[in-house]
Structure 1
Amino acid sequence: MSSPVDVDLVLVGGGGAASLVLAALGRKKLGGVRVAVVDPVLKRGQDRTWAFWGPPGTALDPLLSAAWDDVDVVTPAGRRVLSLQPLRYAMLRSAPLYELAARTEAVRVTAAAGSVTDDGERVVVAGEDGTPLVRASWALDSRPRPPRRAGRTNWLQHFRGWWLEADRPVFDAGRAVLMDFRTPQPARGVSFGYVLPVSDRFALVEYTEFSPARLASPAYDRALRGYCDLLGLNVAEMRVREVEDGVIPMTDGPFEPRPSPRVIRLGTAGGATRPSTGFTFSAMLRQADQIAGALAAGQPPVPAPPYPARHLWMDAVQLRALDRGLVDGVAFFDRLFDRNPASLVLRFLDGTTSVAEDLRLMSSTPLLPMMRAAAGDAIARLR
């Protein structure tokens, strides 16, 4: 039996969260930090797309497929064009991120991780058969796992997208569609389409639902065909180059970000997914930079919580209001964008707004239904 690899930091799982950490470590040029990655698959190629907002001029800019200063939010009542400045909406595909992460020096252990054991001084990552694979000072574990306890409200963000290619210009490459609520709405939940154009002939067109359960596979295709009809796209004359599917939890159940002193969980497992929307990327990016900065300063690689506690409470109330039918989902989001600057709403979804800004946002929501949801949430917490 071979001895485990000895390193300073082990990444358990090599997906988006780990790749962002590796890219951040590479930017810091931390030659003295020994790193290992444990994953059964060497991540490469195109397997997902992240869309996120933030200021331009970041280290990820050279990797972006597209970025937009303006986006559309569409309801049956009309189209609203939102200026995001000083932010912008950006698209990052997985292949360039995986390639950048691969340039950071690390030991790649191509195996499925089993147990992660922390004795307070070192962490041992073993394979599924119990064989020790890596021994490290710190472990960053991004493998999916459920919350520490079940939430009071448990929804999903679930979606399917088609990468559509046309022989003639059919997309507006200068503007993305952030949310288009003209899609048929589920009996319990919210649905919307969106369009992320890379050029006037190539775009990701996606159908998304916030609801308690997934659809059967053919239902996503029917929804996408219906949305393409709304957009005036003749899919029969286009090519579906790629298909993307995903399911992301939207729950007020608490995730455990630090199950033991030297084990840190990242991504959804560490609470990086925003409960009210399922958005995750910005929190992962923020934590990756914090981890690299801490290591560069000789500090433990422990990031700050992904969201303030008050935002998690606000999300729990919003989820409850949607789930119990206290508010109409389309009207809720439309009102939020109508009564606030788009950049403020997006910064709230990223968890970076101040208390004063949060109060402004809360005052723009339907107060009586949200107060009922807050009261119900408070009673549920006492049970």
Structure 2
Amino acid sequence: MLGPRYFYVIIGGGLAGLQLARQLSRDVFFKGKKIAIIDSDFAMPVKTWCFWEEGKGKWDELVTKSWKEGQFISSEANINLKLSPYSYKMIKAADYHQKLQDEIEKSGDFEFITDEIHKIDPVTMKAMGRKKSYSATHFFDSRVDPSYLESKKHTTIFQHFKGWEVETEEPMFTPDSFTMMDYRIKYPDATAFTYILPFTEKKALVEYTFFSPFLTEDKVYDEMLRQYFEKILKTKDYKIKSTETGVIPMTDFPFDKANTKQITKIGTGGGWVKPSTGYSFKNTEKRIAKIIENIKNGKKPGENLINNKFRRYDAIFLDVLAQNNQKGEDIFTKFYTKNSPQDIFRYLDEETSVSEDLKIMLSLYSLDFIVSFFRKAF
């Protein structure tokens, strides 16, 4: 049985799908166009998103906590990161989902559909679901093409982590300063660190994070987190209030090459995760703005969403980490000791000139980067 015809179908009601729907609902250009958002589960997720930006932002009403200072700690360095004019901001995914779903539903042009899409037929322009099929003039598809895992030409490592939101008996945290990376609790032959978002002196989200070619068992994260509390914070007196886990692909696989006149890949499935960091929140905001600009100018929605210059930089960086994963601490120590937070943020936001890019690259200079340059360039 055929479903109703929609102007757009958005496959996936996550970060990218909801944000795209929200921006479409706010723009009079799209008023009256019937749009469906299809997901297998619209439940509120237990996870957080963090990002940096200058001054006030469009998401400030959803920000749980923000910081003007941070720390980077390794065997060789302990750096206090003064972020101004930037702030590092945290949003809880559940708050984001609830707010955007409520706003989108009130616009009247959108329909939320619970179904699992397994195929899009570009000839008939139908998305085939487990329950039924859905026709549209254009599909925005957040599903991840699993073939990236088999690609020999491209590099993939994973950002995988487990976090405990904890409450301690005694003051343990500095609420005005988050910890970007703390390498003091080490996992053998891997890039792995502790990441801390403090809310008060006694409450924080503490995560143990890997940037590695391999995944690991749940008990490994728990052991690393226990070690951090016992060896670094010197306490066993804490309560775990909630947990969050995640696996984020960090890859130079060209997901965007699947974009056509009828289908635009979005979110992780569109390559919107920054390959060298795993950050996606602000990238999503920028690329959705570009999609809407493209549509209004009569272009393909997915045109020029990826900056190929920075994708090449990311490919080299990923190759270095994949081939020399045990050297991650040294690489990131150079990154944070030889560059200001402001220059780092501008570089990661893909806002720097070639001369500024060169300065960053020279700060990381090593034989490993030269080898990876030639491996990825030719």
TM-score by length of 1: 0.89
How far is 1:144 from its partner? 2.5
Residues 7 and 34 in structure 2, CA contact (< 8 A), matched pair in contact too: yes
Q: Which residue of 2 aligns with 1:16?
A: 15
Deviation at 1:251, TM superposition (A): 2.5
Mean Cα displacement is larger for which, 202-211 or 249-258?
A: 249-258
CA contact (8 A) 1:190 1:329 kept: yes
Which residue of structure 2 lines up, in the alignment, with residue 191 of structure 1?
192
Superposed counterparts of 1:273-312, under 5 Å: 273-294=273-294, 297=296, 299=298, 302-303=301-302, 305-312=304-311
1:108 to 108, 112, 115: 112
Q: Give the match for residue 178 of structure 1.
A: 180
Q: Where does residue 74 of structure 2 map in the other structure?
A: 75
State the Cα distance separating 1:290 from its structure 2 match: 2.8
CA distance in 1, matches of 2:212, 2:326: 14
Question: Does the CA contact (< 8 Å) of 2:253 and 2:271 recur in 1?
Answer: no
The one-letter code of the counterpart of 1:311 is: F
Partner of 1:229: 230
Provide, for residues 249-294 of structure 1, a one-character-per-residue CA deviation record: whole Å limited to 9, x for no partner: 1223322354432111111111112222222222122222333455
Q: Name the residue aligned to 1:255.
A: 255
**Once the 2 structures are TM-superposed, how far is the Cα of residue 194 of structure 1 from its aligned partner?**
0.9
CA gap of 1:47–1:145, structure 2 versus 1, over 3 A, is: farther
CA contact (8 A) 1:153 1:316 kept: yes
Identity of counterpart residues, as a percentage?
28
Q: 1:24 to 1:186 in 2, by over 3 A?
A: farther
How many aligned positions are there? 370
1:368: Cα distance to partner?
A: 3.5
Of 253-262 and 153-162, the range deviating more from structure 2 = 253-262
**CA spacing shift, 1:232–1:284, aligned 2, 3 Å:** same
Q: Secondary structure at the match of 2:282?
A: helix
**Residues 18-97 of structure 1 mapped to structure 2, 5 A cutoff:** 18-28=17-27, 30-44=30-44, 46-97=45-96
Structure 1 residue 41, shift from structure 2 partner: 1.1
CA distance in 2, matches of 1:305, 1:84: 30
- Residues 14 and 43 in structure 1, CA contact (< 8 A), matched pair in contact too: no
Equivalents in 2 of 1:52, 1:166: separation in Å?
A: 26
* 198-207 or 347-356, larger mean C-alpha shift: 347-356
Inter-CA distance 123–231: structure 2 relative to 1 (3 Å threshold): farther
Distance 1:326 1:203, change over 3 A: closer
Find the aligned partners of 1:27 and 1:88 in 2 and give their Cα distance.
26
Following the alignment from structure 2 to structure 1, what is the Cα–Cα distance between the partners of residues 243 and 213?
23
Amino acid across the alignment from 1:98: H
Q: Is the Cα–Cα contact under 8 Å of residues 326 and 369 in structure 1 kept in the other structure?
A: no
Cα distance change, pair 203–303 in 1 and its aligned pair in 2 (3 A): farther
Please name the residue that 1:205 is paired with: 206
Q: How many Å apart are 1:135 and its aligned residue? A: 1.9
> Residue 32 of structure 2 aligns to which amino acid in structure 1?
G
Kept after mapping to 2: 8 A contact 1:53/1:346: yes
Structure 1 CA distance for aligned equivalents of residues 253 and 147 of structure 2: 6
1:272 corresponds in structure 2 to 272
1:163-191 deviation per Cα after TM superposition (whole angstroms, max 9, x unaligned): 1123553321111101112121431x311
Provide the residue aligned with 1:240 in structure 2: 240
**1:260–1:128 Cα change, 3 Å:** farther
Q: Which residue identity does 2:334 align to in structure 1?
A: R
Match of 2:130 among 103, 117, 128: 128
Structure 1 window deviating more from structure 2 (101-110 vs 203-212): it is: 101-110
Alpha-carbon shift at residue 240 of structure 1 (Å): 0.9
**1:328 match: secondary structure:** helix
- The question of 1:145 aligning with 2:145 is answered yes
SS at structure 2 position matched to 1:203: strand
For structure 2, the residue ranges without an aligned partner over 5 or more in a row are none
Give the deviation of 1:26 after TM superposition: 4.0
* Secondary structure of the structure 1 residue equivalent to 2:347: helix
CA shift in 2, pair 1:7/1:159, >3 Å: same
Structure 1 residue 352 displacement after superposition: 2.7
